[in-house]
Amino acid sequence: MPANDHYVIIGNGPAGNHAASTLRDKDKDAKITIVSDEAIPFYYKPRLTRYILDEIDAKDLMVKQLSSYSDSGIRLRLGQPVDRIDPDSKTVFLHHKEEIHYTKLIIATGSRARVLPTMRSYSDCLKFISSYDQVMEYKDDIKQAKRFFIFGGDLVAFTFVRLLSKMNKQVSLLIYPNAFWPFNLNEEMEAAIAQSLKGLSVDLLVKDDIKAIAESGNGYRVRTTKGKELNVDMVFSFNGLIPSVEFARGCGLDIDHGILVSETMQTNIPDIYACGSCAQIYNPDINTYTTSIGWPNAVAQGEVAAMNLLGDHKVIESAGRKYFDLEGVKVKTTWWEDIEERA
Amino acid sequence: MVEIQSKYLDEKLDQVRAMDFLQYRSGDLPTWCPGCGYFGIMDAFYKACRQMELKHENICTVSGIGCSGRTPIFINSYGFHTLHGRSIPVASGLKLARPDLTVFAVAGDGDALGIGGGHLPHVARKNIDITFILFDNSIYGLTKGQSSSTTPYEMKTNSHPVGNPDSPLNPIRLALSYGASFVARGYAGDPEGMKEVIMEGTKHPGFSFIQILTPCVTFDKSNRTWKNLKENVHPLRMSPEADNMETAMRAAENQPFGVGVFFKDKDRRSYQDILDGLNA
Amino acid sequence: MKDINIVIEICGSAGEGTISAGEILSRFMSSQGYEIMSFDSYPAEIRGFGKCVAHTRISSSVINSPGKLADVLIALNDGHSISQLSALKKGGILIYDSQPAKPHEEDKSVLGWADPSVVSYGVPLAMLAQKAAGNLRGRNMVALGAIAALFDLDREGFTDSIKARYAKKKQIVIDSNVNSFLEGFDWTKDHIEKKDTFTFDGVSLEPRGEKLIINGNQLVAQAALDADLKFYAGYPITPATKIMEILSKELPGYGGTLLQTEDEISAIGAVVGAGYGGIRAMTATSGPGFALMTEFTGLSVMAEVPAVIVDSQRGGPSTGIPTKTEQSDFNAALYSGTGDCPRVVLAPTDTASCYDATVLGLYLAEKYQTLVVILLDFFLSNSIRNIDTPKKPGPQMLNANVNPTEEDLKDYKRYKFTDDGISPRAIPGTPGGISFYTGLEHDERGRPDYSDKGHLAMSEKRYRKHASVLKEAPAPVISDFDGDRADIGVISWGSSAGAAHEAVATAKKEGINAASFSSVMLYPFPDEALIEFAGRCDNILIPELNFQGQFADYAQGVIKREVTRLNFITGRPMAAEDILDKMREM
């Protein structure tokens, strides 16, 4: 065991980083380590879409430079996936066979792209925009490609569609109204979306579904239930996110879709906290666990988790930060619901 | 004054030239003080060379620094006046390079046991075939009378005017413990005896250590004087076989004025022989 | 054709086969026609757990410096490799053991400290070695297999290089090593998805004759044997010890003698004694030993006895840093000791020139009856190159003593005044040549002479040899000028010269008008050539591995101008990049 406290944070997103900086503010002596399976330092994930299309450059993508971590005495471990956690010995096992010992642990691993169960057989044909490493692999392909098929539809998708059509790409967009993530698409929002797409040469498919996707030449052929056949270069899936918590399963933590935590971000195991979109927070008003997404929520939860870890008793405001603004569409946030079954 | 001295010396030279062994004497005049024991050592050396019929050009004498350092210049043969304390390393290199030469190393007590004391154990244990002659007058003469490694305890010297605080080394005992295969002592007032040990040492195939007791007539008026030496020096009281280390050690301890051969190991091979054997 | 230029470092603990793996890599790449330069660093503590690094630069074109940063780091030992990460390029490649026998303690894994830009490949080194040979010794070979697979190297050719390396070992040793390599190669091909873009594929090099894979110490020893060395005396000291060890084995076969002495005073004393005896003799040492030899440097010059000292420089002063390279004995080599003491100092500029400098040193010492210091450094002593077999010295280089004529012997004067400063030397044993050598100031016959005229005349005679030496010294290496003048002239010596010439060649391609100058001859220095060169350059840059700019001080005194200095003492050799960076600033 380390001589001083060692606060280990798994996850290098907004929740993890704000937890780390809160901890550093309050405790100058503790060792603080952030572990992340992504190799890139803290970046604005919502800006990935614009970054890969060269709308913004690398410096606008980054939140913090590497040096700011060493300056504040935070040990950053990037590109180092966690295999498992052992709460009894308070050890985090890294994939490269290193054992890290913590006195307190915060899990803030966020979430990753969800593949619709019906689409799993086509997963090799699908592209996602949910992490830097992932998108860098096909950044160049996107520039080369001319025809895109995009389905599902969440808020990130709209930025992508708008930018693609600005680049004179041919875009087909299939919207799942009942699977609009994380909300059901209501009339108000649908109107707003239609408004935002106005003037763009987007082939909008509604009340249709994918029947099959097959490789065809260098691209793909998409057939819909309504009998449409589309030859495209790339197929993108925007069907929401699911918590990245596989490594934590089986260690004794209570996990549903995400890690279950109280209003104070405390898990069922002492000295382990979870925050951000990997956590499901107990909401006493509705007596259930819900997940909140979005940058501000993650920041707030990271701070609360850190304060409570240090002995405070802060309760996350479940009613707060209800709205967030994306591409001019004001959206009311709700809590994560089990859309897996409804899809 | 100079002329008179020069004339006196010239006459002396003529006298010694008449003697056969002085062909080994060079034309250069020794710079030692009149009455110095070193003249006697040189006489013995020339006589030994004469008797062994060594070729002049095959003799090499290596010296260090001090009154003894000038020795090679007075020998009609090749000579190398090196650095203070270093006659042994140079002589070792020379002998290994030129086994055909007869190599002598000479040094005073300060030279051999003080500044160059670190080399003695190694040349002895290696048994390199050189004949080492220690001109032991128990004082630093060339620098004018300071204590050396063999100056007696409490003797007053220019560096220790109220008495030497250091205990003297016993050169014979050292050489024996270092494993020298031939250890002898001569006395500067006994050229014949010295000649015998020098000859025996030279013929000995390996490292020969010969200590010569000699006075410093200028800077030592009390200890190793001609008078004291004459009164005390005696032939070694032990078996002339000299093949017993214990006896030799006891004699080194108990007979500080005994002259003769303390120890010789006839069977021990010289360094060159050992190397030749290993590399055969 | 694709240009290959890559630096691979293998880092492990003493006893993990780090250095042998580096050797095999060098051997194989050389056999494929590549230029190689490799440099191992190892701890002062020999056995146990010290850090070893085998650094190998591989290139399809000529290389003169070891390269500053590594493109690839193979971590045989996580603990030691952590501190080696700082020498890995951003975006470089890391190969580590993904299945160590037991998990790493916190902060003890190399991947844990790797820069996020590094492309890492986990290979189960220990597991595969165990599988291949039943023990963990072959981890180094598994790692070589991994690198060979990743970079599309010839599987069978590599196997041959391993067999050649262990040719003298028992069959089981050869088999274990080969099998471990193959296990690593095949596993990597099957399991590793290549994420970097580096490959040797598609490079075809002209086949070349058999190359020697050799380091400076080995070449010094070989040159000495070829140049008729008959006596060596020495005392063990890093990084020169290997020279003594090689000669200890080889010299008797050449009819010579090796003497291990009790200290360096005795070593140089014996060398002077043997030189006086008329045979070629030398010693090799490093800073602290050279300091002890100082008193004999004066005697060699004063008594006019040939002696050669190889000083392989290490970090100083005092005991300093025994296993780090430095060029900080320039002043000591030229000026050690007291009085006006003109000796000869040579500094080979690369591995191959260690041979030529040694041959030349023994020749000059014998002919001019003086001390020759040959300055190597830890890097030159230990870095390995593949070079053409050096040409053996001809008879004119082997019999250099100026013997006295019959006329001379009629009235032989050991220190006879002559135009070139060389007095015919009668070797002991020569009838009629009987003479007296001394470290005292002397007259022509060697008799002590303290007169002012005598001292002046003898000093002039000793310095006349300098002028004579310069006439037959190798000319400085000077690059072509683009036009009459250059903006930057880089003047270098010793092991930094290769990096300097390489930097200037690269700078020219970048449009910097530069020229370079280096000289193996350090003392006497080709001053006239230096003045002429400097006169054609607007700025002078002098890179050297010492703190004060020892050579720069000398050069400034000659060219009477301020020079720009590039000095560092980090313990690593000068790289072309270091000099280039400075040139771009200028």
Give contacts of C 70-129 with A, CB under 8 A.
96, 98-100, 103-109, 111-112, 114, 116-117, 120, 122
Residues facing C472 on adjacent strands = none
Residues A107 and A247 in one domain: yes
- pLDDT bracket for residue A318 (50, 70, 90): low
Query: Is B231 near chain C, with CB under 8 Å?
Result: no
**Cα–Cα distance, A195 to A193 (Å, whole number):** 5
Q: Using CA coordinates, name the residue in chain B closest to C302.
A: B82
Q: Are C140 and C128 in contact (CB under 8 A)?
A: no
Length of chain A: 343
Q: Is residue B274 domain-resident?
A: yes
**Which of C102, C109, C193 to substitute to test the interface with A, most A CBs within 10 Å?**
C109
Q: What is the DSSP string of A199-238?
A: TS-EEEEES--EEEEEEETTEEEEEETT--EEEESEEEEE
Can you give the pLDDT of all 586 residues of chain C as single tens digits?
678 999 999 999 988 899 999 999 999 999 999 999 998 877 665 555 788 999 999 999 888 888 889 999 999 999 999 999 999 999 999 999 999 989 999 999 999 999 988 999 999 999 999 999 999 999 999 999 999 999 999 999 999 999 999 999 999 999 999 999 999 999 999 999 999 988 888 777 876 667 899 999 999 999 999 999 999 999 999 999 999 999 999 999 999 999 999 999 999 999 999 999 999 999 999 999 999 999 999 999 999 999 999 999 999 999 999 989 999 999 999 999 999 999 999 999 999 999 999 999 999 999 999 999 999 999 999 999 999 999 999 999 999 999 999 999 999 999 999 999 999 999 999 999 999 999 999 999 999 999 999 999 999 999 999 999 999 999 999 999 999 999 999 999 999 999 999 999 999 999 999 999 999 999 999 999 999 999 999 999 999 999 999 999 999 999 999 999 999 999 889 999 999 999 999 9
**Sign of the Cα pseudo-torsion (B80, B81, B82, B87, in order):** positive
Number of domains in chain B: 1
- Cβ atoms within 10 Å of B15's Cβ, excluding its own: 10
**Ramachandran bin of C67, using left for φ above 0, alpha for ψ from -120 to 50, beta for the remaining angles:** left
**Cα–Cα distance, A256 to A275 (Å, whole number):** 14
Q: C322: domain CATH number? A: 3.40.50.970
**Cα–Cα distance, C223 to B38 (Å, whole number):** 46
Query: Is C435 near chain B, with CB under 8 Å?
Result: yes
- pLDDT bracket for residue A322 (50, 70, 90): very low
C202: containing domain: 5-208
Distance of CA B158 to the CA centre of its chain: 24
Q: Which residues are CB-neighbours of B196 under 8 A, at least 6 positions away?
A: none
Among C276, C431, C437, the residue with its CB nearest the CB of B57 is C431
Neighbours of chain A (3+ CB pairs under 8 A): C
Query: Is B57 near chain C, with CB under 8 Å?
Result: yes
Q: Do B97 and C279 touch (CB under 8 A)?
A: yes
Q: Which residues are CB-neighbours of A260 under 8 A, at least 6 positions away?
A: A253, A254, A267, A268, A279, A280, A282, A289
Cβ-based burial of B192 (10 A; exposed 0-12, middle 13-18, buried ≥19): exposed
Query: Is B89 near chain C, with CB under 8 Å?
Result: yes
Residues A86 and A186 in one domain: no
A105: containing domain: 6-112+242-337
Residues C388 and C484 in one domain: no
Phi then psi for C500, rounded to 5 degrees?
A: -65, -45
Residues A254 and A235 in one domain: no
B98: containing domain: 34-279
List, in sequence order, the alpha helices (H) in C375-421: 378-382, 395-398, 406-410
Residues A120 and A233 in one domain: yes
Q: Is residue A1 domain-resident?
A: no
Cβ-based burial of C401 (10 A; exposed 0-12, middle 13-18, buried ≥19): middle
Q: Using CA coordinates, name the residue in chain C closest to A137.
A: C195
Q: Which residues are CB-neighbours of C330 under 8 A, at least 6 positions away?
A: C375, C493, C522, C544, C546, C550, C551, C554
Q: A122: domain CATH number? A: 3.50.50.60
- pLDDT bracket for residue A4 (50, 70, 90): confident
From B96's Cα to the closest Cα of chain C, the distance in A is: 7
Residues C97 and C131 in one domain: yes
Number of domains in chain A: 2
Last residue of a domain, one of A208, A239, A270: A239
Residues C157 and C16 in one domain: yes
Residues C237 and C317 in one domain: yes
Per-residue pLDDT for A2 more than 70? no
**Sign of the Cα pseudo-torsion (A72, A75, A78, A84, in order):** negative
Residues C301 and C442 in one domain: no
Could you give the strand order of the β-sheet that contains B102-108, starting from the edge strand earlier in sequence? B234-235, B258-264, B182-187, B208-213, B131-136, B102-108, B59-63, B78-81, C436-438
Residues A147 and A220 in one domain: yes
Q: Is residue A274 domain-resident?
A: yes
Last residue of a domain, one of A188, A208, A239: A239
Q: Do A94 and C109 touch (CB under 8 A)?
A: yes
Cβ-based burial of B1 (10 A; exposed 0-12, middle 13-18, buried ≥19): exposed
Cβ-based burial of A325 (10 A; exposed 0-12, middle 13-18, buried ≥19): exposed
Q: Using CA coordinates, name the residue in chain B closest to C275.
A: B94
Q: Using CA coordinates, name the residue in chain B closest to C233.
A: B93
Q: Is residue A185 domain-resident?
A: yes
Count interface pairs A-C at CB distance under 8 A. Answer: 44
Residues C177 and C248 in one domain: no
Residues C457 and C570 in one domain: no
Q: Is residue B25 domain-resident?
A: no
Residues A303 and A214 in one domain: no
Distance of CA B213 to the CA centre of its chain: 9
Q: C555: domain CATH number? A: 3.40.50.920
Residues C391 and C410 in one domain: no
Q: Using CA coordinates, name the residue in chain C closest to A91.
A: C106
Residues C187 and C303 in one domain: no
DSSP-derived 3-state class of residue A56: coil
Number of domains in chain C: 4
Residues A161 and A182 in one domain: yes
Q: Which residues are CB-neighbours of C193 under 8 A, at least 6 positions away?
A: none
Q: Tokens standing for C492? A: 């270098």
Q: Are A22 and A302 in contact (CB under 8 A)?
A: yes
- Predicted structure pTM score: 0.83
Residues C448 and C532 in one domain: no
Residues C58 and C134 in one domain: yes
Last residue of a domain, one of A239, A268, A299: A239
Q: Are C365 and C283 in contact (CB under 8 A)?
A: no
pLDDT tens track for B186-198: 999 999 999 999 9
Q: Which residues of A touch C106 (CB under 8 A)?
A: 2, 98-101
Q: Do C231 and B97 touch (CB under 8 A)?
A: yes
Using a threshold of 3 CB pairs under 8 A, tell whether chains A and B touch.
no
Among C261, C299, C448, the residue with its CB nearest the CB of B83 is C299
**Cα–Cα distance, C34 to C4 (Å, whole number):** 9
Residues C232 and C381 in one domain: yes
Q: Which of C531, C550, C548, C119 is nearest to C333 (CA)?
A: C550
- Cβ atoms within 10 Å of A46's Cβ, excluding its own: 15
Burial A300-316 (b: 16+ CB within 10 A, else e): bbbbbbbbbbbeeebeb
Q: Do A101 and C106 touch (CB under 8 A)?
A: yes
Q: B98: domain CATH number? A: 3.40.50.970
Q: Which residues of C touch A66 (CB under 8 A)?
A: 116
